[in-house]
């Protein structure tokens, strides 16, 4: 697990670990599941049905990346503890630790590398209680990153260009997947009956392998014999693409191997087919997920969620429940109000939400920390009928270019965003409903989107650029941002740019606009209001009649969706210094707001949810206009026609 502050979960746990230090050893004591069943009578036939992940809305995640310091795993893991978690949070699912990046398993595995000592079998207790309560159980399992496996089997590791072995990362071309990962997932599915796995340390932990087998396969696949060592060398792009496909094949392989025996076992690979890996989903994963940054979390969730919403399979995002206001930290737990807003960013886009809490070094959970999560759960559940599985109505498409990403990214699957992060924030803070999409998402029907924005990408394929021009000629509106991007499209269309000035003109049956200056980096850094107004002026000239217009504050994120035949207008309060402040203890309401909603006919009613307030509105010239007195964190206007 990684974020854009270069902090992995493992490194956080090294900083914050308390309790058992590994100064003594205790024997393994097996606490049987019979004893648990005696306390909480149950049989498998009595278990209530559990939601599958595509039905799930709200969850909670625990992990502690067990290590060589863990001698009493399970000592304080009790049925009462797990019942208390469920009673407080009422989750659809729980994810809990079973193997972190250190590679030590936090349950007494028979096929993997267990932690040094256990008191009973904590995973059996987690499974028995969650099954009894009808709560799905998923495992946090580190995949490509397995330090212990590499320590015991150096030949499983990636080889660096200088012929040394990596100390942490396994090779996706090697035998680790068959000798450890697949047997252990089968053990979890078969011996423990868990519902699925959230595999961490995957795409973002994968690095190029210069080992003999990988090099031989590259030569056989491509016919290229000169192996590049850096981005400056010939064939670097082919070398990187070979490894990207190697990771996809690794995923397909272990998913097929596990599902052959356990077809209902649900699998997610952390950050696969997200903005970390911006490409069409080509692997049979059950759901997509990722843990966004513990700091600057609103912007991190904004970006991740708007890409996931268009990937076509169920998805959720995970908040870190803790952050810090200084560097180096002390770490603090986020207050409920901060986590509510982070949840709102995700829920407003139709996704599911979970939050990450650390465990003690014996695997037990600090229940007092979950009191805030209980408040977040109540907040989310009140809004669930108006957001979960809602479908975005296309308005403004912002390109996250797969082609440019794969040619420009410095590693295989980084959080390389080009300038799209800053442009996204600029558009959202002018109250535009924006979706982040790749070339492949746009390709089937570009005309779905009234406006497409290309933000300073320079290496999109020539065929895609021609398609973009045709989209505009056929009635769409196209906005190019950045000097080089503008010049590229000006040549294609015969438009003459005027220095760095804005140009907007007809193109066939549509329109094309140019902002031939940099926007993304400057806006991401400063939130420059004058720059935002320049971009907004161009957008409104190209797209003068959006479905929704909001006035009254720039600090409202707007998204427009459809759910159960009703149009939903999601309003999320983004006021305050959520970029710089790690811990946010208060959020000022925003408003009053005027919301103008384009409708073909007068709505039967407009309701503000979750309060249930019936809204007075006027209707004229195809627009319903409603006043919202204030948004504390997240409200939804439900339009019924």
- pLDDT confidence of residue 148: 98
- pLDDT confidence of residue 33: 32
Partnered with residue 14 across adjacent β-strands are: none
Q: Residue 435 and residue 513: Cα distance in Å, rounded? A: 19
- pLDDT confidence of residue 42: 38
Give the pLDDT band (50/70/90) at residue 1. Answer: low
Can you tell me whether residue 320 is helix, strand or coil? strand
Span 464-478, pLDDT tens digits: 999 999 999 999 999
Give the pLDDT band (50/70/90) at residue 581. Answer: confident
Can you tell me whether residue 500 is helix, strand or coil? coil
Measure the CA angle with vertex 87, ends 359 and 96; round to 5°. 30
Angstrom CA distances, 228 to 166, 221, 222, 445, stand at 18, 15, 13, 38
Q: How far is CA 189 from the centre of its chain?
A: 25
Q: What mean pLDDT is predicted for residues 382-400?
A: 98
Partnered with residue 454 across adjacent β-strands are: 480
Q: Residue 316 and residue 550: Cα distance in Å, rounded? A: 27
Judged against a pLDDT cut of 60, whether residue 3 lies above it is answered with: no
Q: Residue 202 and residue 194: Cα distance in Å, rounded? A: 20
Least-confidence region, from 194-203, 265-274, 321-330: 321-330
Measure the CA angle with vertex 419, ends 414 and 425; round to 5°. 105
Q: Residue 354 and residue 318: Cα distance in Å, rounded? A: 5
Q: What mean pLDDT is predicted for residues 196-220?
A: 98
- pLDDT confidence of residue 31: 29
Partnered with residue 479 across adjacent β-strands are: 453, 513
Q: Are 320 and 297 in contact (CB under 8 A)?
A: yes
Q: 519, exposed or middle or buried, with CB in 10 Å at 0-12, 13-18, 19+?
A: buried
Share of the chain above pLDDT 90, in %: 89
Q: What mean pLDDT is predicted for residues 211-217?
A: 98
Q: Are 487 and 481 in contact (CB under 8 A)?
A: no
Span 227-245, pLDDT tens digits: 999 999 999 999 999 999 9
Q: Residue 116 and residue 104: Cα distance in Å, rounded? A: 8
Can you tell me whether residue 218 is helix, strand or coil? helix
Q: What mean pLDDT is predicted for residues 288-293?
A: 97
Q: What mean pLDDT is predicted for residues 595-623?
A: 97
Residue 183 phi/psi, 5-degree rounding, is -55, -35
Q: Residue 116 and residue 106: Cα distance in Å, rounded? A: 9
Judged against a pLDDT cut of 90, whether residue 169 lies above it is answered with: yes
* Two structure tokens written together for 320: 């870190």
Say how many C-beta atoms besides its own lie within 10 A of residue 163's C-beta.
Answer: 8
Judged against a pLDDT cut of 50, whether residue 602 lies above it is answered with: yes
- pLDDT confidence of residue 598: 97
Q: What mean pLDDT is predicted for residues 309-335?
A: 93
Q: What mean pLDDT is predicted for residues 159-181?
A: 98
Say how many C-beta atoms besides its own lie within 10 A of residue 161's C-beta.
Answer: 11
- pLDDT confidence of residue 247: 98
DSSP 590: B
* Two structure tokens written together for 221: 């696949």
More confident residue, 21 or 331: 331
Give first-to-last CA distance, the chain, whole Å.
45
Q: What mean pLDDT is predicted for residues 559-582?
A: 95
Q: Does the CA dihedral 621-551-421-636 come out positive or negative?
A: negative
Give the pLDDT band (50/70/90) at residue 418. Answer: confident
Share of the chain above pLDDT 70, in %: 93
Q: Are 320 and 16 in contact (CB under 8 A)?
A: no
Q: What mean pLDDT is predicted for residues 249-262?
A: 98
Q: Are 548 and 529 in contact (CB under 8 A)?
A: no
Q: What mean pLDDT is predicted for residues 544-565?
A: 97
Spell out the domains of the chain, with CATH numbers in brackets. Answer: 9-386 (3.20.20.80), 394-542 (3.40.50.880), 548-640 (2.60.40.1180)
Span 122-146, pLDDT tens digits: 999 999 999 999 999 999 999 999 9
Would you state the torsion angle of the CA atoms of residues 53, 275, 348, 434, taken in this order, to the nearest 10 degrees? -150
- pLDDT confidence of residue 328: 77
Q: Are 7 and 16 in contact (CB under 8 A)?
A: no
Q: How many residues comprise the chain?
A: 641
Give one DSSP letter per residue of 253-287, joined into a string.
HHHHHHHHH-TT-EEEETTTTSTTS-S---S--S-
């Amino acid at each position: 697990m990684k974020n854009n502050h270069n902090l992995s979960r493992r490194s956080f746990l090294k900083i914050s670990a308390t309790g058992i230090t590994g100064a003594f050893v205790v024997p393994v004591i097996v606490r049987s599941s019979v004893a648990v069943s005696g306390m909480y009578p149950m049989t498998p036939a009595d278990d209530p049905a559990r939601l599958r992940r595509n039905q799930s809305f709200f969850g909670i995640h625990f992990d502690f990346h067990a290590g060589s310091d863990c001698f009493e795993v399970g000592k304080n893991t009790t049925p009462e503890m797990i019942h208390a978690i469920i009673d407080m949070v009422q989750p659809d699912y729980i994810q809990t630790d079973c193997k972190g990046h250190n590679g030590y398993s936090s349950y007494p595995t028979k096929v993997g590398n267990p932690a040094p000592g256990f008191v009973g079998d904590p995973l059996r207790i987690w499974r028995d209680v969650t099954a009894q309560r009808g709560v799905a159980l998923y495992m946090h399992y580190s995949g490509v990153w397995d330090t212990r496996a590499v320590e015991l089997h150096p030949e499983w590791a990636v080889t660096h260009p200088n012929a040394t072995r990596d100390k942490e990362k396994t090779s996706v071309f090697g035998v680790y997947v068959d000798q450890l990962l697949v047997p252990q997932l089968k053990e979890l599915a078969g011996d423990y009956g868990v519902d699925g796995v959230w595999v961490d340390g995957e795409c973002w932990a994968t690095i190029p392998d210069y080992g003999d087998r990988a090099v031989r396969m590259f030569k056989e696949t491509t016919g290229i014999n000169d192996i590049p060592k850096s981005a400056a060398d010939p064939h670097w792009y082919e070398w990187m693409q070979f490894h990207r496909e190697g990771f996809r094949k690794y995923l397909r392989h272990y998913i097929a191997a596990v599902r052959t025996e356990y077809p209902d076992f649900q699998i997610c690979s952390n950050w696969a087919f997200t903005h970390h890996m911006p490409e069409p989903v080509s692997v049979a994963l059950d759901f997509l997920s990722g843990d966004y940054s513990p700091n600057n979390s609103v912007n991190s969730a904004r970006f991740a969620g708007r890409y996931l919403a268009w990937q076509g399979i169920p998805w959720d995002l995970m908040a870190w429940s803790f952050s810090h206001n200084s560097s180096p930290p002390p770490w603090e737990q986020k207050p409920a109000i901060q986590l509510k807003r982070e949840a709102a960013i995700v829920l407003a886009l139709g996704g599911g939400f979970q939050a990450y809490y650390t465990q003690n070094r014996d695997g037990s959970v600090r229940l007092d920390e979950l009191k805030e999560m209980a408040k977040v759960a109540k907040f989310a559940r009140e809004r669930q009928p108006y957001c979960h599985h809602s479908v975005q109505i296309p308005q403004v498409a912002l390109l996250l270019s797969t082609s440019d990403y794969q040619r420009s990214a410095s590693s295989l699957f980084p959080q390389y965003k080009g300038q799209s992060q800053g442009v996204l924030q600029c558009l959202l803070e002018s109250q535009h409903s924006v979706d982040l999409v790749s070339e492949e998402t746009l390709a089937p029907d570009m005309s779905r989107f009234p406006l497409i924005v290309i933000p300073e990408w320079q290496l999109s394929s020539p065929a895609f650029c021609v398609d973009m021009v045709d989209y505009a000629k056929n009635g769409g509106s196209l906005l190019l941002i950045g000097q080089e991007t503008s010049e590229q499209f000006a040549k294609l269309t015969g438009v003459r740019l005027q220095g760095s000035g804005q140009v907007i003109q007809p193109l066939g049956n549509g329109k094309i606009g140019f902002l031939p200056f940099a926007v993304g980096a400057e806006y991401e850094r400063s939130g420059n209001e004058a720059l935002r107004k320049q971009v907004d002026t161009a957008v409104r000239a190209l797209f003068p009649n959006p479905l929704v217009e909001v006035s009254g504050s720039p600090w409202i994120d707007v998204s427009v969706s459809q759910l159960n035949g009703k149009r939903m207008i999601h309003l999320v309060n983004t006021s305050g210094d959520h970029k710089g402040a790690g811990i946010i203890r208060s959020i000022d309401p925003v408003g009053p707001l005027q919301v103008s909603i384009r409708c073909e006919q007068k709505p039967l009613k407009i309701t503000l949810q979750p309060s249930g307030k019936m809204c007075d509105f006027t209707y004229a010239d195809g627009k319903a206009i409603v006043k919202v007195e204030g948004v504390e964190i997240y409200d939804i206007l439900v339009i019924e026609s």
